[in-house]
Structures are given as C-alpha cells and as structure tokens.
Structure 1
C-alpha cells in the first residue's frame, strides 16, 4: 500500500532518513571515538538499503526494514526514556507510525483492539492548507505562523477519555517542488492571507502532488487531560445553548471523570438562597442533588451538621468524606448530609461551595460509589475549575433574573417593544443629565403625538347576573346542608335557641329564592360565621351521632372563603379560561399584525378581553407611515375578533359553564396623543379633547340603541361604534369583503345610540358573525343556528 493512497495533498509523501543520516555523517568525523563509531554503524546499516535515504512511499518497506529503521532511530528513541516519554516517528499529519516509545505503545494497547488513532481537530481542508503553509515556509520563506495545537483523544483501560497534545519536530524533513508546482509570487502570498477558507484557491496555487516531501517527523506527545478537561468544562459552561442541551449533564460528568481519572463519578448541584437559608434543587434535565436527595427545598440547618454548615457557607471552603460508611457509623445520625448520602449508596464525596464576592451561590456535589475514590487530596483539582463553575452560575443567575424581570414586565408593567426605543432614549438622556445635574435631573415625559387609536373588546354577556346566580346556588346548597344538620340538633336537644337558628336558616333560603340582593351574601356569611359555626364546633365535640354530617359540611367549605365554593368556582374558572384562551389567540395574531407594520398594542383581562392599539409615525420612528397601514390594521382587527368569537364558541363545550360573549370595536377618526403615566405604569390619552375617547371606551358597551331598552352589543353579532360618515363607509367596505369570505352574515344594521354623558352623535354598525363547522370548513352558521346545533 502506498502512504499517499486516499489522501489529497499538495505534497507527495516519501519516508526518508536522509536529513538524519547527514547528521550522522558529521558525527562520523567526531573526535569522540564512541560517537564516531556509533555514527559509522548507523551509516553502514543505511548503505545496504539506499531507499532509506532516497525515500519510499510503499508501507511494505516499513515492515521489511523495521530493524534497520530501529537502528537509525536508536538515538532519537533512547531506551532509558522509552517507558517515560510518549513519542512517535511518522509522516506528518498521518496515522502511519513506524516507531514509538514503549509508553505510547502501552497507551494504544490499553485503548483496546478496536481503537483507531486519528488527530482529533483536523479536517481534510485544514490538512491541505496546513501542508501548503509548510511549503510556503520551507520553499518561499513565508512563515504564516499557523501553529495550531493538535490532539489525540485516547481512552484509558477504564474507558476514561484522556487527551494528548502533539508537538512536531520537523528537523528531518525536506520539500522540493515538482514540474507541476506553481511559482508563488508576493501577490499570490498576499491573496492567500485573506482567503484561508477558499480551499479552491489554495489548490490552484498548490496543485495536488506538486511538491515532494522527503523525511519524517518526530511527534513529542504530552498528556494534557487536566488542561483539556478544564477547557471542555469552560466551553460547556460558557455556551448558554450547551447548558440547555439534553446531554449537558452527561458531558459535564464525563469531563469530571477525565479530570479525576475514574468512571464511577457523578455530579450534583443545589442552589443556596441566603435570604431564607435554604438549599433548592436545580431545575434542568438530568440534574440531581445528592445533598437534598428527593427533596425540592431543605433548610440548610436540616441538610448539614454545624461543622459542614460553617465550612461551606461561612468559611466557603470545600471538604471531602472519603469513607461515607465509616463517617455514618461515627456520626450516629447527627450529621444529616452523611445520613442522606448513606441512604443513596454514596461511598465517597466532595462538597464544594460555588461562591463569589457576594457569598455562596450554590453547592457542587461530586459523589462516587467507591470508598476513598474521592478524598481531600484529589479534591484540590477543583481549585482550577471552580472559577469557571462560579462564572457559569453567575451567568445563569443573571439570565434567570433577566427572565424574571421580563416576566414581571410582561405580566405587570409591560413596555411594548414598539415603544421600547423611546424609553431607552429617555433613560440614556436621564443618565447623561444625572452626570451633569446630579439629583436635579428628571426623566423626560414619554409622549407620542398624532397617532391613531383602535379599541376592541370581547366581553362576557350578563357576567354579573351569571355570578349572582352561581352565588345563589352555592348559598342555597350550604343553607340546605345546615337545615338538615339543625334538624338533627333540635331532635337531640330541643332548645329554643336552636329552633330560632333553624327558623333563620329557612328564612334565608326563602329570601334567596325570591329576593336575592347584593348585600344578601354579606348578611348570610356574617350569620353563619358568628352564630352557626360555633354551634357546629360545639356539637362536634358533644354529639358523636352528628360527627359524620358536620365533618361532611366542613369538608365542603372552602378554606379561604369559609363558604361552599362550587357553582362560583365553575363561573370563575370559565371566566379565567375565556380570558386566557382569548388573550392567547389575540397575542398570537398580534405577531402577524406587527410583522405587517409596527404599532403599539396592549390588552387587559376583565370579564373578557379588551385591547388598545395605536399606530402612527411617532411610534415607528421612521418616515414610513401611510394611512393604508391604519386601514389594514382596522381590517385585521375586525377579522381577528371574528376569529376569537369562532374560537370561543367552537370550544364552548370545554368550559365548566356555558356563557355568551359579545364583541365590539370602537372607531375613532381623529389622531390623538398618548402619554405614559409613570405613577400608573401605563399609557393614557393626553389632553382634554382626547379624553373624550377614553369616556366613550368606558361607557359605550353599556349604551342602548336610541329609543329602545336594547343594549348595543349582542351575542352572535359584532358591533362597530363610530361617529363619522366616512368611518361608516370604510367599515361597510370591510364588511362586504368579509361577507364574501363567509366571515360575516348578510344582515347589516345601521343604528343610532342614545347619548352618553358628555358624548353625542354616536352610531353603530351591527352584523351577524358566521361560525364555522368543525368537520367541514365550508359549513357556516349564524349564532341562532349554532345554538341549535350545540343543543341538538
């Protein structure tokens, strides 16, 4: 086999000992008789086989001349160092080794029969460019300083991966161009400097096999497992995506196994919360805590003994237990961490505090099921790795804090992305002003002028009435249970006071059926708490016969409300689910709208979901706004609200109780200004004239059609409130378009509204929403049809 087979390279490789033999020729004339004699013996050996000097590429020669090659390389591979040095002779960047030290042979043998030696961090293109850079240095005097470290990864006898760095000695090499070689000019060299990744250019300047390499390299190899383990650890910890990877903990443990040199090793973590002095389990795939075992949260004083507590949290120093069984017998149950380890079958352990200048952040737990495997001596290996672990934990803590801050902003004090730039600019200005003016600096007002508002809501119809009905049913159920218990109490002990309580309970039951008022709940609750509950607790101790019924009553009572919470719970859960699902759909659709044109968006959960949108030049910060984007957003809003209605009614059967919803859009024709209210952490309209818009928003859904007692919003229809004729014409066009798409029905009402306080001249368009059949997208229902379909 030829050593150049299956390798693309600018150099044809020939093994040659010419340069080394030239060195021996000099030594042959030495005055030192011993050196001279030895050199002459080496030269005499080579003279018998001229191919050893001239060069060869047939691997058969390596086998046939192995003895002679050994003699030539005898000084290079000194026998006295052979068991200590890791050394090979080979052709460069090739896995064919024709001489090696005893230690290297032992390493390869321990790796197993199936192990194949290769340089880890060198792909084919890199190999080609490296060969070109060697030619540039040897033949043209251009030193590219392309000195990357190369490594072997070789498992030891226990399967632990060890890392070996390769340093090449190229003193015995020579490179000569062939007739196919391209002469490299200064211009070529400068072009190559800027094109490392352009492999085709390198092949153009250095065609394959255009140079001949004669010689061999000596590889001096060093075990750098500890350094590489630390490097891999650093790489794994720094990369955020790596820490989220499913294999992170496996890779992390493998690094520590290489560092400590044995396979039976596992890693655990626990977070330390200084404020309440507790340890908490780390959230993450495959991350365990041997200190906490199966617990999620444990007080530090219950997880550690006083000595280990002081060692880890106060002194911030690591400690080891080399024999957990022995320590457990000695502690006699007084050291909770040792007891916990013993239960888990851990035989040796190292606990190390993950700490920075602010204090302890968490605990690193290294455990083994082999006694003495982990001890106070090898614990010192942590000195080099702890800074990277601390850095990673700090980074994770910062990421978590930022995430929490983002959640708080999103859920509590949201600053929408469309206007965030304005807050950043104001904050930067505030910092500059503060540097100049100190405490006199003020945060400038956040105001957006000349923008167009859009408002919409999907609201639960009759929510107050539905809640009152649920409250009535819960109170009736509770009073009925009490009436039954009071009957039994009167039968056992016929006291007038008990009869009076029974009379009052029955009166409340009648009142609930005939005359339920807002304050009825309050008076009943006060009566039950003050009068009835003490009696029941007294009878619970006194009358064993009543125990089952009284226990059953108290079991049905909600701990927080001290009332039966069944029908109201169904109501509250329905409202919560409507809000959640409608808000989720609106948020998803909003992403599409933002992609069309950026605008401000906010929503609120009430008995339904309301949303505000503002669009205009002031928000986008770019000279790109056109009224077409406003019209587009209005049409998008109308479509999405119809989709929300469809989504709700198609899944209405999944809610605890059946409630109706009604949708409304408010159209405001004139642009206005909005200002961020720092005290309320939200935007509001700015100026007296613009306040009219807010008044209409708050009151319009309760408005009546002029001359009737009918509310403007109605289930099964979408209502569009406006005041200008041009708005009516615009929305009639949108309605016509959506009728064509089978989103809206054919019947369109144009209605006048009763005057609101301070607001006159409002009108409304009201149109049926079509609801899509689940099994057939081409089937459409009006609201009345849908109700019949649901009840069928």
Structure 2
C-alpha cells in the first residue's frame, strides 16, 4: 500500500504532486526540500508529469501548495516550456533512455570507446526558459537529468530492432547516430517505467548577460530605437530596474538618451561643465560601477534634478572609459550607462558584479554607435570619419577632419524661370479660390438683401482684379488669411441662405479639402512636374556617378531644388592613387553626365508636354581648395581660407550671371555653359568640347563671351554650346 508525501502546507513544507509515492523512496529529497536555490523535481517518464517538487521549484513554477494537482491530473513539466525547449528536453531524455537500454540490456557494451561520448552527453546540463506566473519574464533554468531510477525493457515485436541489433552487434555508426540525435529512438517499442530526477539552478542572470553581450556586440547601433528597446528590456529584467539612460561624451557636451513609454528615445544635451561634481563623473573618475541609493538626498546637478523630477530615485552607474586626467572628472570618458529605478536603494552588490561583466560589451556597443553617427557620410571619405570616431571612442581630443588640396568640380542643371512658373500656379489657385468665394457671396445676395454681403462681394471682386494683374511674394499667405478672416467665418450661416448658397459653400469646401486647406490644383500640378524632373535627373546623375567613382573615389554632394546641382571634390588626400589622368577623366565624365541630364530633360518635355526649360552649367577651376568638416553646421564640408571662399562666391551667383555684352543670361535653355577664369582652363575644356562634338553630344558651333562682374569676382569668361538630343 503506497502512502503519500506530506503536502507543502504540512510541517515539513513539502510540495506533493502525487500522493502515491512512498516517502521511503525519496528520503534523500528531504535535505533539498527547503533549499532556496536548488530546484528539484521528480517526473514521470515519457510525459514528464510532476510527481514531486521541492519548495523552490513550486515557487518558481507558481504552483500553490494548498492547491497542488492531485494524482488524477498531475501538472506536466512541458507546460512551462516553449516548443523549442520541449524538444531539447526530449532529446536529452532519449539519450538517457538509450544509456539505460545499454546498462540494462547489454551491460558489456559499457566498456566500448563510444560510451565515453554518450556519458559526456547525458551529464551535460540543458538551459531552458521556464514561463512562470511568479515572474513577468521567463526564467532561465539549467537542468540536469538523473535517470538512475528509470527502467527500460523491450516489448518484443514493437521494439526498435535496428537499435537493439546495433547494441547487440556493437555497431558504432548506428549507435553514435542515435546518441547524437541523428536517429530518433522509437520509444513506443519499449516499456519505460520508474521516474526521472530533475536538478536545476536558476541561471537567469547569467543567461541574460550572455544574451545582452551577443546583442551589444552586433553591428547595429545601440541608439536605434529597435536595438535600444531590446537592450532596455534585458537590462531592466536583469537589474529589476525601470529604465535605462545612455550618456555619450562628445567634446564639451554630454548627449543623454532615455527610453520612453512609447518605445522611443528621448534625447537631451548637457555641457560637461554642468555635470561637474555629478554622480556620473564621480563614477567615471573612480572608473568603477557605483550605486546611488537615493537621489532625493543627494542631487548635485541639474541633470540629476531632472531625473529626480521624472520620478527616478536610485541609480546604478556603469562608466565606459578610463579617467586618466587628474584634473578632469571626465578624463577619457567614452560614455556611461545608468539603470534607473523609481524606488530608493533598489540596487545591490550583486547588481554591481553583474554590471561589471557587461562593461566590455557596453563599451563595444557605444564605440559602434559613435562610429555609426558618420554612417551617412559619403563612402569615399568615410574612412577618415571612422578614424576620427575610433580616436574619440578612446577618449582622445577631437581633431578637425580636413582634406587638403582637392580639386572642385561644380555643375548645375536648373529649371529656368521656376519661380515665375510657380507664381503663375499660385496666381491660378488663388483666383480660383476667390471666385469660389465670390460665388458663395453672390448666392447669398440673391437670397436676401444684405448691404454687408454686397460690400463683401465688391471686396472679393477687387481682390481678384489685383491677383489677375500681378502676384506678390506674400500673396500666397496673405490672400488665404484674408479669406479665412473675412469669408470662411460666415460659412455656417451662408449654408442656411438657400440651396444655391449651400451648394456654393460645399463646392468651396470640397476644393479646399486637402492637406493645404486651400485650392491647390495648379500648384500641385507644378509640384508633380518639378518632382518628376528632379527624380529623373537624380537617377541619371546617380548612374553616371557610379561610373565616375570607378575612375577615382571622390566626394560628391548632390542637392535637389528646382533642378539638380552637384559638388565634387577629388584629389590625393581622398584617393592616394589619384593622378592628373584621373582628374582630367573626371572632368570629361562630368561634362558627359551633364549632357545626359540635359537629354533626360528633353525627354521629359516631350513626354509630358511641359513648358519647363532647363539650363546646364559647369564651373571650371584648376586651383585646389581645402575642405573641412565643421560639426557645428549641417553641411558635410566647408571650404577653408580666403582663396577658397572666392570659389564659393562664384558658385552661389554664377547661374544668374549675365553676358557683359548682351546682358542676357549666360545660361540658356538646352545649352551647356562652361565658366572659366584662365586661358589654361579654357584650352583644357575646349579639348573636352571637341571630344563631345565628335561623340555627337554637342553641336559644333561654340559661342563665347565675358561674364559681367559679380560682387567681389571679376574676369570670368564663358563658352556656350547647344546639347544635341539623343540620336534615335
């Protein structure tokens, strides 16, 4: 007659899953019953139903001792595991069954050489994620399986004859395939009885640190929302924290990033000087993980006051970098990661130990993020930015990024008269909207005798007349404001003044039913046309850029406005293999690319029957310039020095320049204009023009002249030649 183990509610606090187990068989479990760390459970073979579990396991699994599952419906261990982890547990179980088959059916094979491999495999623990109602996140458990009380016997005809034969013959190939999981055992061919003992330890901290390390060292920037949220979740789970803060030291500033409730990043900036005496810089100077127990009693700087105001009370600070300067709190600080809690004295010495294990991975992640802030930089010059990012990641002082003695190549394909075309579109839309408004007022006046309505009618007529005569710069804003203030405020009333007025109001509202909340038909058509021109020009230029980069890697910045303009810098400081041949090849290829852009524009004109005309200009200069990256501006590069500034002035004004003789624009539709300063420059580009004429890019007639003096720039000349359409 079998007797049951006492329930967890009894004096020995055992958690019984099956009252049929005799306590005499499991006296050895008593010593582990009250363990807080060692997890022990006895399970049935095949279905892994729990027969017994100690208090630690019951707590982890969220099993209430007083509501323990009785013998008729014992809790299966597999219900706490994912599908993947169930498979891992079953594979280990099959190896144990295999081992017991040998021990009990063919014990002489225990001396075989391959048995050592099997013994190692069954002694290895597995790590599974156990889902528990006690915890918000799965707990990682390292389990060992003990099968000493497992009994295996063949059922006869249904047994796995292949395995039995292999065991009997000592067929190592088949046996090794079985023990490595390459051949599954047909366990239905055996009668398996007894019980299995699971011994486990909660290794959630260790496993979370492993996962964090793998996540942190991959190449995605930690400051991207997706990766930050994953890191944030794991760090909060590991340290039982509420949020994560990342501080990056950049020159004299500290860039601070905080997670938000919306899975986004919130950024703010503090000067390093304002952090003097802060807990952040104290941890950096000590170069060790530190705990701030309660900010409400020790809040030395505005930054920490901001955190306290947001509800954070305790901090776990992980400095990344080495503070070597005695006179500086920050020293060579790369950055710092802080765990935040809304409870005081949340963090423990064990948290400090776990945080220390993450320093290398966090440092790697922050260095990666520092380098990737230059990810948008043009590939030809990215190597220099990455060099500087690496220097700064080690805490070294910033150095300017300069490319000296580079040749500038500037060109532009500009929509001629785009401002006038857009003004005409604005004029058409405003007149249409005012006429719709006038129709409303006229309908109202027809339905009732209203003196104010007649005056409003006269105002609208006068406004329409002024719009038809000319359009001013501010008309797009002031005209709409006028309608809103003097007409639209009456719409609810006007809609009640007869069916004609109601219909007119509805027509006005429908015409303005768009994101601009005004009539935007002509402007929309203009915008679509300009966008189409820009898109096709960009695609054309990009195709040629791929060819040009193969000649010699160079920096190229391309901007879209009403047309497209490009700025190229090339030279030995960018490409060490650079030679005069590469320079001349790039200049010639630039001209061919601009001609192709012109042909693209001609195709657009024919396809869309548009009146938009494009002009094309290339600025020649044989004098090198120095370019420097200024982090305080949005531009990637600025020219350096007074001699370089002249080139920038010419760039900004040359497309509006006039012929000093005719006072016409030097740029003309469907023509390529080259602007130069010296006879040497002209001789070089004259040769290129002859090549382009020979290749049927250009017509043979070349016009020339002098450029009217620009402010601060004199002596420029130009040559102009018609671009031929593509020969069908």
TM-score of the superposed pair, with normalisation by structure 1: 0.48
- Of residues 754-763 and 541-550 in structure 1, the stretch that sits farther from structure 2 once superposed is 541-550
Give distance in 2, aligned partners of 1:458 and 1:662: 6
- What is the deviation of 1:761? 1.8
Question: 1:526, CA displacement in angstroms?
Answer: 2.7
* Closer/same/farther in 2, CA of residues 84 and 708 from structure 1, 3 Å limit: farther
Partner of 1:642: 595
In the TM superposition, residue 603 of structure 1 has moved relative to its aligned partner by: 1.8
Q: Pick from 677, 690, 701: which aligns with 1:723?
A: 677
Does residue 709 in structure 1 map to residue 709 in structure 2?
A: no
Say whether 1:473 aligns with 2:502: no
Asked if 2 retains the 8 angstrom alpha-carbon contact of 1:706 and 1:754, the reply is: yes
- Structure 1 match to 2:380: 418
Structure 2 residue 725 is the aligned partner of structure 1 residue 771 = yes
Name which of 261, 268, 283 aligns with 1:277: 261
| Cα distance between partner residues in 2 of 1:106 and 1:398 | 60
CA distance in 1, matches of 2:372, 2:387: 23
Which residue of the partner structure matches residue 585 of structure 1?
540
Measured in 2, the distance between the counterparts of 1:112 and 1:571 equals 79
Distance 1:399 1:81 in 2: 55
1:494: how far off? 2.0
| Partner of residue 153, structure 1 | 182
SS at match of 2:412: strand
Change (3 A) 1:110 1:533: farther
Corresponding residue SS for 1:617: coil
Q: Is the 8 A contact 1:571 1:656 kept in 2?
A: no
Given that residues 444 and 497 in structure 2 are in contact (C-alpha distance below 8 angstroms), is that contact kept between their aligned partners in structure 1? no
Alignment of 1:688-699 (within 5 A): 688-699=642-653
Kindly tell me: are residues 618 and 501 of structure 1, through their superposed partners in 2, closer, same or farther at Cα, counting changes over 3 Å?
same
Conservation of the 8 A alpha-carbon contact between 1:601 and 1:614: yes
Distance change >3 Å, CA 91–CA 571, structure 1 → 2: same
Note the 1:51-450 alignment, pairs <5 A.
Answer: 151-154=180-183, 275-278=259-262, 410=376, 415-427=377-389, 441=397, 443-450=398-405
- Are residue 674 (structure 1) and residue 627 (structure 2) matched? yes
Residue 406 of structure 2 contacts residue 624 of structure 2 at CA under 8 Å; is this kept in 1?
yes
Aligned to 2:697: 743
> What is the distance in 1 between the residues matched to 2:621 and 2:439?
59
Partner of 2:710: 756
Aligned match for 2:451, one of 496, 501, 513: 496
SS in 2 for 1:736: helix
Q: Distance in 2 between matches of 1:455 and 1:583?
A: 15
Instruction: Output the CA distance in 2 between the equivalents of 1:491 and 1:403.
Output: 71
Residue 513, structure 1, aligned to residue 497, structure 2: no
Does the CA-based 8 Å contact 2:178-2:184 persist in structure 1? no
Deviation at 1:584, TM superposition (A): 3.5
Q: Distance in 2 between matches of 1:104 and 1:649?
A: 86
Over 3 Å counting, the alpha-carbon distance change for 1:400 and 1:421 in structure 2 is: closer
Aligned CA distance change for structure 1 residues 78 and 519 (closer, same or farther; 3 Å): closer
Displacement, 1:401?
A: 7.7
Q: Do 1:111 and 1:154's aligned partners in 2 also have CA atoms closer than 8 Å?
A: no
Deviations 1:72-112 (A, max 9, x none): xxxx9998955899x9999999xxxxxxxx99999999999
CA distance in 1, matches of 2:154, 2:658: 94
CA contact (8 A) 1:110 1:156 kept: no
C-alpha contact (below 8 Å) 2:102/2:110 kept by paired residues: no
Q: 1:610 aligns with which of 560, 565, 570?
A: 565
Give, in whole Å, the separation in 2 of the partners of 1:548 and 1:399. 64
Distance 1:529 1:79, change over 3 A: closer
Contact 2:367–2:390 under 8 Å retained in 1: no
Deviates more, 1:703-712 or 1:455-464: 703-712
Which residue of 2 is the match for residue 550 of structure 1?
A: 505
1:532 aligns with 2:487: yes
Change (3 A) 1:80 1:150: closer
Contact 1:83 1:103 in 2 (8 A): no
Counterpart in the other structure of 1:7: none
Q: Distance in 2 between matches of 1:113 and 1:358?
A: 59
Cα pair distance change 1:509/1:545, threshold 3 Å: closer
Residue 477 of structure 1, CA deviation: 1.2
Report if aligned partners of 1:703, 1:754 keep a CA contact under 8 Å in 2.
yes
What SS class does the counterpart of residue 541 from structure 2 fall into? helix
Alpha-carbon distance in structure 2 between the residues aligned to 1:77 and 1:516: 93
Q: Secondary structure at the match of 1:758?
A: coil
CA displacement, residues 595-634 of structure 1 (integer Å, 9 cap, x when unaligned): 22122221222211111111222223x3x33221111110
Q: Partner of 2:713: helix, strand, or coil?
A: coil
- Assess, with a 3 A threshold, how the Cα gap between structure 1 residues 405 and 451 changes in structure 2: closer, same or farther: closer
Q: Deviations along 1:429-480, whole A, 9 cap, x unmatched? A: 5566x56xxxxx5x33333332211101111111001100100111121112
Q: CA deviation at 1:150?
A: 7.6
Q: Distance in 2 between matches of 1:627 and 1:108?
A: 88
| C-alpha distance in 1 between matches for 2:155 and 2:568 | 70
Distance apart, 1:558 and its partner CA: 5.2
Distance (Å, rounded) in 1 between the aligned partners of 2:696 and 2:159: 71
Secondary structure of the corresponding residue to residue 698 of structure 1: helix
Q: Is the 8 A contact 1:705 1:711 kept in 2?
A: yes
Per the TM alignment, residue 706 of structure 1 is displaced from its structure 2 partner at its CA by: 2.2
- Deviations, residues 280-302 of structure 1 (Å, cap 9, x unaligned): 9xxxxxxxxxxxxxxxxxxxxxx
Check 1:576–1:91 CA distance in 2 against 1; reply closer, same or farther (3 A cut): same
Aligned counterpart for 1:457 among listed residues 412, 423, 437: 412
Contact 1:448 1:674 in 2 (8 A): yes
Q: Distance in 2 between matches of 1:461 and 1:625?
A: 36
Residue of structure 2 in register with 1:337 after alignment: none
Q: In the alignment, is the contact (CA less than 8 A) between 1:574 and 1:656 conserved in 2? A: no
Give the whole-Å Cα distance in 2 for the aligned partners of 1:714 and 1:651: 18
Contact 1:88 1:104 in 2 (8 A): no
Rounded to whole Å, the distance in 2 between the matches of 1:709 and 1:524 is 36
Shift of 1:564: 0.9
Look up the SS of the partner of 2:519 in the other structure.
coil
- 2:574 counterpart SS class: helix
The answer for the alignment partner of 2:581 in structure 1 is 628
Contact (CA 8 Å) 1:642, 1:743: kept in 2 or not?
yes
Give yes or no for contact 2:414–2:563 (8 Å, CA) kept in 1: yes
2:443–2:500 contact (8 Å) kept in structure 1 = no
* Length, aligned pairs only: 456
What SS is found at the alignment partner of 1:670?
Answer: coil
Change (3 A) 1:450 1:278: closer
* DSSP-derived class of the 2:658 partner: coil
Q: Contact 1:474/1:565 (CA < 8 Å) preserved in 2?
A: yes
Shifted more, 149-158 versus 454-463: the winner is 149-158
| Superposition TM-score, scaled by structure 2 size | 0.52
